[in-house]
Amino acid sequence: MDTATALRRLDHFTVETPSWGLADSGTRFGTFRQPWAAKLIDEKFADAGQVHAYTGICPRVALHIPWDRTDDWSSIKALANQHGVRVGAINPNVFQDPDYQFGSICHADERVRAKAIAHHRECIDIAVATGSDAISLWYADGTNYPGQASFRERKHRMQDSLAEVYRALPAGMRMLIEYKFFEPAFYHTDLQDWGSALLMCHKLGVQAQVLVDTGHHAQGTNIEHIVAILLDEGRLGGFHFNNRKYADDDLTVGAINPYELFLIFCELVAGEEDGDAAVRATARRCAYMFDQCPNHKPTVESIIQSAVCVQEHYAKALLVDRAGLEQARARHDLVECEEILKDAYSTDVRPMLCDWRRSKGLDAHPLKAFRASGYTQRVMPERIARRKAAGAAAGSGAFG
Ligand code: AFD
Ligand code: MN
Ligand code: MN
């Protein structure tokens, strides 16, 4: 693809900021709270507004309920707009309430399943009230020991619960079903891989799609292959981008394996370019989102850094010589196939992205410009004072 076309395609590339990625995050060994971290929703929208103001590609903010719960959702929509962003996917939380110790949608007790389903309905209502078109579903449901429960009975309960949630979806709203092969369950997880998520989508209907969290695979998994299959099936709903040396969302996207990120985008661009109409529509509607814990990085900087990273790797994927790749594949020229990908990957797209930002009236170097703005230093005293006044109120953090 030539640079001019690539620049136009960059106009459609956006990625969603997670509200919880702007808050303190920690591990089971503790949370080191940071004075800049957002806790309350107005702080999260203000910070997300900074990310979008400097990058130009992060207009939406995913919310997590109850961490972001409020009693006036119409004002939340206005508050987001005030900061130049809007509400993105709504994430139910059916993994922290004590009732969910032995599962939520798979729980043996019908009362607990009904409670979880009611919470999903609340999240659908919140999505409608805030103008969001997606609920994003992840389940900690699983067991810790062999023999603890019947896999098949749990699968039946999951199917029935998800079907009840699906029936509550308004037209045009998607449920993005996210799989994860481990954690917090130590022996099995009910929605453990892309196959189980795709199976549920097929049983539910076209408004159900799979969400691929890049941190949710065993080491060595070929994620770009999974992406290609889900794309081809019209069931690739979105991504939670992050990176890890060992597990899940420990590190920010691109920190460890940027080539994998590039190869994932190569599949998406291939779908956008040479897929049939259904594949092209799926690729273009794919919801790109971050789901990562800043873990000691200044929160806003960590997301600006991440946004630049995914934009760069998408741009690199746009530059792949697709015609040359087809010809090299046809003659089984493996070296040439690889060289064509590596040529695009090695292209320094930063000048092109600087031009794109200038064309949008943005600073060419968003991270440098944000760090020079003094925003973090300005908001810290006010947030420290708020926490003191509220007596370190619960507010809304991530997992710490
Ligand atoms: C945890 C889960 C999953 C989920 C996220 C937000 O592993 O990725 O999407 O929390 O609820 O990271
Ligand atoms: Mn996730
Ligand atoms: Mn995760």
Checking DSSP bridges between strand 142-143 and strand 174-178, what pairing results, if any?
unpaired
Please classify residue 101 by burial: count the beta carbons closer than 10 Å to its beta carbon, then call 0-12 exposed, 13-18 middle and 19+ buried: exposed
User: What is the pLDDT averaged over residues 261-289?
Assistant: 97
Query: How many percent of the chain have pLDDT more than 90?
Result: 91
| Residue 395 included in any domain | no
Structure tokens given for 355: 């031009």
Q: Looking at the domain assignment, is residue 5 inside a domain?
A: no
Question: Residue 209, SS3?
Answer: strand
Adjacency order of strands within the sheet including 236-241: 17-18, 60-65, 86-92, 134-138, 174-178, 208-213, 236-241, 287-290
What is the reported pLDDT for 399? 41
For residue 231, being part of any structural domain is answered with yes
> For position 50, which CATH number holds?
3.20.20.150
Question: Nearest 5 degrees, angle CA 143-CA 148-CA 152?
Answer: 80
Centre of ligand 3 from the C-alpha of residue 246, in Å: 12
From the number of C-beta atoms within 10 Å of its C-beta (0-12, 13-18, 19+), residue 189 rates as buried
Ligand 1 atom nearest to 211, measured from its CA: 9
Of 68, 220, 219, 260, whose CA–CA distance to 239 is shortest?
260
Assess if residue 238 is contained within a domain. yes
pLDDT of residue 107: 98
Nearest CA to ligand 1 atom 3: 138
Tens digits of residue pLDDT in 109-137: 999 999 999 999 999 999 999 999 999 99
CA angle 221, 189, 18 (to 5 degrees): 75
Residue 361 lies in a domain: no
Count of domains forming the chain: 1
- Is the pLDDT at 398 greater than 70, yes or no? no
Ligand 1: which residue has its CA nearest to atom 4?
138
Q: What is the mean pLDDT of the chain?
A: 96
Nearest ligand by distance to the CA of 398: 1
For the beta carbon of residue 179, count every other beta carbon within 10 angstroms.
24
Residue 372 amino acid letter: A
Residue identifier of the C-alpha nearest atom 2 of ligand 1: 138
The whole-number pLDDT of residue 295 equals 82
Decide if 385 is inside a domain.
no
Q: Is residue 395's pLDDT more than 70?
A: no
Amino acid 392: pLDDT: 57
Rounded distance from Cα 213 to ligand 2 centre (Å): 5
Residue 347: band (very low, low, confident or very high) from pLDDT cuts 50, 70, 90: very high
- Ligand 1 pocket residue status of 249, Cβ below 6 Å: yes
Residue 3 has pLDDT above 90, yes or no: no
Cα radius of gyration rounded to whole Å, the chain: 21
Domain span at 192? 13-318
Say how many Å lie between the CA of residue 291 and the centre of ligand 1: 7
Question: Which is the closest atom of ligand 1 to the Cα of 213?
Answer: 8
Closest protein CA for atom 9 of ligand 1: 138
* Distance of CA 164 from the midpoint of ligand 3 (Å): 25
Please name the residue ranges forming H helices in 214-276. 223-232, 258-274
Q: Which of 219, 352, 223, 326 is nearest to 270 (CA)?
A: 326
Q: Give pLDDT tens digits for 175-213.
A: 999 999 999 999 999 999 999 999 999 999 999 999 999
Q: How far is the CA of 319 from the centre of ligand 2 (A)?
A: 29
Question: Contact, 370 vs 300, CB < 8 A?
Answer: yes
- Does residue 318 contact residue 9 with C-beta atoms inside 8 Å? yes
Q: Answer yes or no: is 282 within a domain.
A: yes
pLDDT at 294: 86
Question: CB 250: neighbour CB atoms within 10 A?
Answer: 18
What is the distance in A from the centroid of ligand 2 to the CA of 249? 8
pLDDT score recorded for residue 393 = 52
Mutate which of 135, 138, 292, 399 for ligand 1? The one with the most ligand atoms within 8 Å of its CB, which is 138
pLDDT in tens, 215-238: 999 999 999 999 999 999 999 999
Report the C-alpha gap between 21 and 25 in whole angstroms. 8
Residue 176, pLDDT score: 99
User: Is pLDDT of 250 > 50?
Assistant: yes
- Look at 26-35, 51-60, 84-93, 263-272 and tell me which has the smallest mean pLDDT: 26-35
Q: Does residue 335 form part of some domain?
A: no
Ligand 1 neighbour 180 (Cβ under 6 A): yes
Express each pLDDT in 71-91 by its tens digit: 999 899 999 999 999 999 999
